[in-house]
A and B are shown apart, each in its own frame.
Chain A
């Protein structure tokens, strides 16, 4: 090869690279804008629903009126005061309270302010709810509950993910065996949600056998030593975690197994078998490699799913997690808390979706960020 052709080639390469970079940049910009718009619309709809399209304002106004009336009645009980003076005082106090809560601006304007605050992660203050440390900041309320939720969902979902993928790989190796058939037979049991298994587990292990606690996260009073405390929490964790695991264990194995089987029936796998490659290599290079994007996507979605909590399981087991906080926030019409949890999830989801594109390109050489040469 001459130097000239080499230079020519390098030029073409550079042009292609610049072209690639341009396309990539355009694609990324478009992607970010689209994802952001998606979040904006999704969050705005959530804000509208959480405020009942402004009706929550009416509820809050009535609450304020009632509270102020009581306050004024108590304040002026022992002093002579005309009815008019009293009602003037009531109106004044209501005005102050409504201004404090921002109820003096129309809901449409406020809904956009809510949206702006949510998008800038300025979560604001809760209307009614207070964190255990006495803070009204939504951030504190959420952060306080997050560890408990992450403990529960993290332990169960990570265990679920790794154990089912591993078992599914084993099963796909000898499909049609007794264990394979057993899993297929058992997979319809996953139609029941975790709380359903939770109730049975409580019944069996707490009510009848009396070896595990009914609910909660620690005994009351909590043990003083750290070691004993951890053991106590783990003991309380067993039932809720197993109900979360149990409810999707078999279906997960079944789905992964079917997924691996589809890939292991490809011609190139047969070819590799014919060549006499060891089965370990076939599994790693020919089956796991092409399924990697799906596995990673699943894992990423599981990770962000950890942050939403498990509302009903937490309610059934009285687990002090985020899911229960959301439920409580909804029953208290505490919209800042509802919107706060939603926006966090929305951002996590958007980031994950965004980065998955890159991860695909890394693990799968056939995939190009920005969709190839089209």
Chain B
């Protein structure tokens, strides 16, 4: 216990160690937050994408806070459900048969660009007669633009930009051909188009012709920025990947580093203790392992067998056991083996296993910990490297996969820097955190480095 306290005291003398520990704790907090807010199955489902999960998300949109750094204000993505969200009101007036429902949604449009697309997602409950819907938009100038009138089916999506009749009406308003979205948000007859900033009101009137018939309307605006982390080319919310990248990276890095160093140490101890052919065999395996191309084998396993992250983890550990570290550990064990306390243990009749586990191994743990902590980043980055080659686990959202997606879809060429920078910066912070702590621990535990 006093030993532990002393170590903590030593660590507190190194600012980089404290900094590293804070980073690691924050990452652990982030990982726990991710696991508890988005359960594993949900994360996998969200990452698989598909219209149901991504219909509210625009394509390749930077995060919303992007607006703070650009001189142009970009429209934020919005999704509101009538009656459920406060801003989108729904008033039902019962009639003789059926009812008329009024929907109203006002929003302040103060942006310098047009949104990508506007949608109405309509779900109607009816038996035989389908409800009728008419949509109008009131511009800041008080003008009412008739958008569309149609009888809706049970599930219907209305896309503003695909409506030819709306385009015709807007041509009349502007005196020339304009795209529907641009026409809606521009000052009438302006040339070049000037965005009409101010409060817009979307008014929808639904008439139902049956009792208990109801219409649920969701208004979705695909802006040019989205959420906390933006979206990718498949319109997936990057939040999933950014959050879930943390537990996966930590699990992979820590598991690989911990099992590799512990198994390496045990094998080195066994070799040094028994000597003879056991030791010889371990040495030879180490040399053979040196010939086998580590990274190529990992790529082969990823390409030929399976891309499951657990298999890759297993192979990584298997290939990292018999490396130079085994020789370093063995040299130390050979020295320890000659100590008098080992002789004493032998004299009282301790078994081989007991001597290895209780007497040899504890001596090397102080040397093991810095190496273990410093090895974590290399495994975290290894997972990202494999993902960058397209060999990441296909079901899991990881940081490396986001970088891979961004890279293969030309994010660098198209200036979608957020897409690469978000996971890259998190990877870098993770690497730095562990490396800083590992460095400091190395200087604390390794007496030859003390004061250097």
Hey, which chain A residues are within 8 Å of B448, CB to CB?
Answer: 262
- In the complex, the number of residue pairs spanning A and B with C-beta atoms less than 8 Å apart equals 130
**B332 adjacent to chain A (CB < 8 Å):** no
Contact bitstring B227-258, A, C-beta under 8 A = 1, else 0:
00000000000000000000000000000000
Hey, which chain B residues are within 8 Å of A200, CB to CB?
Answer: 424
* Of the residues A39, A189, A191, A203, contact of B420 by C-beta under 8 Å: A203
Asked if B381 contacts A196 (CB within 8 A), the reply is yes
**A12 adjacent to chain B (CB < 8 Å):** no
Interface residues in B376-407 by Cβ distance below 8 A to A read: 377-378, 381, 384-385, 388-389, 403, 407
Hey, which chain A residues are within 8 Å of B415, CB to CB?
Answer: 207
* Of the residues B299, B381, B412, B436, contact of A199 by C-beta under 8 Å: B412
Asked if B417 contacts A203 (CB within 8 A), the reply is yes
**B36 adjacent to chain A (CB < 8 Å):** no
**B110 adjacent to chain A (CB < 8 Å):** no
Asked if B291 contacts A38 (CB within 8 A), the reply is yes
Question: Which one of B287, B295, B374, B436 has the highest number of Cβ atoms from chain A below 10 Å of its Cβ?
Answer: B287
Asked if B293 contacts A308 (CB within 8 A), the reply is yes
Given contacts A42-B288, A45-B288, A316 and B417 within 8 Å (CB-CB): no
Hey, which chain B residues are within 8 Å of A330, CB to CB?
Answer: 296, 299-300, 303
Asked if A45 contacts B417 (CB within 8 A), the reply is no
Asked if B435 contacts A188 (CB within 8 A), the reply is yes
Say what secondary structure dominates the interface of chain A.
helix
Asked if A38 contacts B292 (CB within 8 A), the reply is no
Alpha-carbon separation in the docked complex, A38 to B292 (Å): 10
Alpha-carbon separation in the docked complex, A260 to B431 (Å): 27
Alpha-carbon separation in the docked complex, A62 to B77 (Å): 49
Q: Output the least CB separation between A287 and chain B (Å).
A: 14
Asked if B287 contacts A38 (CB within 8 A), the reply is yes
Asked if B388 contacts A192 (CB within 8 A), the reply is no
Alpha-carbon separation in the docked complex, A338 to B384 (Å): 23
Report the interface size class on chain B: 35 or more
**B321 adjacent to chain A (CB < 8 Å):** no
Closest to B421 in A: A203
Alpha-carbon separation in the docked complex, A327 to B303 (Å): 10
Contact bitstring B290-325, A, C-beta under 8 A = 1, else 0:
111101110111011100000000000000000000
Given contacts A189-B432, A191-B432, A46 and B297 within 8 Å (CB-CB): yes
Asked if A349 contacts B413 (CB within 8 A), the reply is no
Hey, which chain B residues are within 8 Å of A175, CB to CB?
Answer: 452
Hey, which chain A residues are within 8 Å of B305, CB to CB?
Answer: 52
Given contacts A207-B413, A312-B388, A349 and B290 within 8 Å (CB-CB): yes
Alpha-carbon separation in the docked complex, A192 to B435 (Å): 10
Asked if A191 contacts B431 (CB within 8 A), the reply is yes
Known contacts A188-B435, A192-B431, A207-B413; 10 additional CB pairs below 8 A are A49-B297, A49-B300, A56-B304, A188-B438, A191-B377, A192-B377, A192-B427, A199-B424, A203-B412, A338-B296
Listed in ascending order, the chain A residues whose CB lies under 8 Å from chain B are 34, 37-39, 41-43, 45-46, 49-50, 52, 55-56, 175, 184-185, 187-193, 195-196, 199-200, 202-203, 206-207, 214, 258, 261-262, 308, 311-312, 315-316, 326-327, 330-331, 333, 338, 341-342, 345-346, 349-350
Q: List 14 A-B contacts (CB under 8 A).
A: A38-B284, A39-B291, A45-B288, A46-B291, A46-B296, A188-B435, A193-B381, A196-B381, A199-B420, A214-B412, A311-B389, A316-B407, A326-B299, A330-B300
